[in-house]
């Protein structure tokens, strides 16, 4: 029995897709979530800046007694995962959202896989490198889609504007002939259905939320970290208040949520 919460962080609302999946698979677990809305999007920040943000947020989550920390952000996973593992190796378990997806794809048979994500995630080449190490015969193509995160954060998700932007990106010749598309940003599952429709549901759209949640459950089970106390308390923190964050959080977690602004940068 371990009543400590699972710590989760992202630059904004995207990580809520992962947090929601975790609560579906591990309903008996408490979570403490930090959305760094003051610095979003991470995708146009330097790797050094992302590492700095990620370190401070991880410290904050540990101050709130997190038993494990999940980086629910592809940009932070690509830029800060190895750094955080080294910095906190004796204090907590760090899990990212990229490695579980790469491991999942090893079980599938694809010749060509596409990746869409922020400029930082795509420029890091992390998916190409890691998939190439485990599946060298698979062709991986990547496309930066920088407008999608601010579009989602501003609430333009189910209208003509969002459809036009999404379609413009996905019609890029780079993605021609792909059999699977990795949503290389945890914001993107919010528009997953629109993406699938554009491909006429003929492309497997891979989002990390459920995949990562299963890995998290296995890691916690292996380390005797599962909570069977029946006591659950979820907490949500943001570095800058945005009405849309609260709206999306309430949509995912149905009703009242404990949302607080935390100024951890002063």
Look up residue 172 and give its DSSP letter. S
Six-digit token string for 107: 């079980």
Q: How far is it, in rounded angstroms, from Cα 4 to Cα 233?
A: 10
201-240 burial: b if 16+ Cβ within 10 Å, else e: eebbbbbbbbbbbebbbeebeeeebbbeeeeeebbbbbbe
| Catalytic site residue from 31, 40, 73, 205 | 73
Look up residue 44 and give its DSSP letter. G
| Catalytic site residue from 101, 105, 185, 238 | 185
Q: How far is it, in rounded angstroms, from Cα 244 to Cα 213?
A: 24
Instruction: Clarify whether 215 is annotated catalytic.
Output: no
Q: How far is it, in rounded angstroms, from Cα 94 to Cα 109?
A: 29
Instruction: Clarify whether 73 is annotated catalytic.
Output: yes
Which residues have a catalytic role annotated? 73, 185
């Amino acid at each position: 029995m371990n009543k400590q919460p699972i710590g989760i962080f992202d630059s904004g609302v995207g990580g809520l897709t992962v947090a929601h999946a975790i609560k579906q698979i591990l309903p008996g677990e408490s979570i403490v979530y930090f959305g760094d809305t003051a610095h979003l999007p991470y995708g146009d920040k330097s790797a050094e800046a992302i590492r700095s943000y990620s370190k401070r947020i991880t410290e904050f989550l540990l101050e709130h007694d997190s038993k494990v920390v999940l980086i629910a952000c592809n940009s932070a996973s690509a830029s800060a995962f190895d750094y955080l593992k080294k910095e906190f190796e004796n204090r907590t378990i760090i899990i990212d959202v990229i490695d579980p997806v790469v491991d999942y794809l090893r079980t599938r048979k694809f010749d060509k896989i596409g990746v869409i994500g922020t400029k930082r995630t795509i420029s890091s080449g992390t998916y190409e490198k890691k998939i190439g190490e485990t599946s060298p015969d698979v062709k991986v193509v990547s496309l930066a889609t920088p407008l999608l995160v601010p579009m989602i954060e501003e609430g333009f998700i189910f209208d003509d504007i969002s459809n036009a932007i999404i379609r413009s990106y996905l019609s890029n010749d780079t993605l021609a002939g792909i059999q699977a598309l990795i949503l290389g940003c945890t914001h993107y599952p919010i528009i997953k259905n629109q993406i699938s429709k554009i491909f006429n549901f003929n492309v497997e759209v891979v989002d990390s939320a459920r995949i990562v949640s299963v890995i998290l459950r296995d890691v916690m089970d292996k380390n005797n970290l599962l909570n069977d106390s029946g006591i659950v308390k979820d907490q949500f923190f943001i570095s800058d208040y945005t009405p849309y964050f609260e709206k999306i959080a309430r949509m995912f977690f149905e009703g009242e949520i404990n949302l607080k602004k935390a100024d951890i940068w002063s």
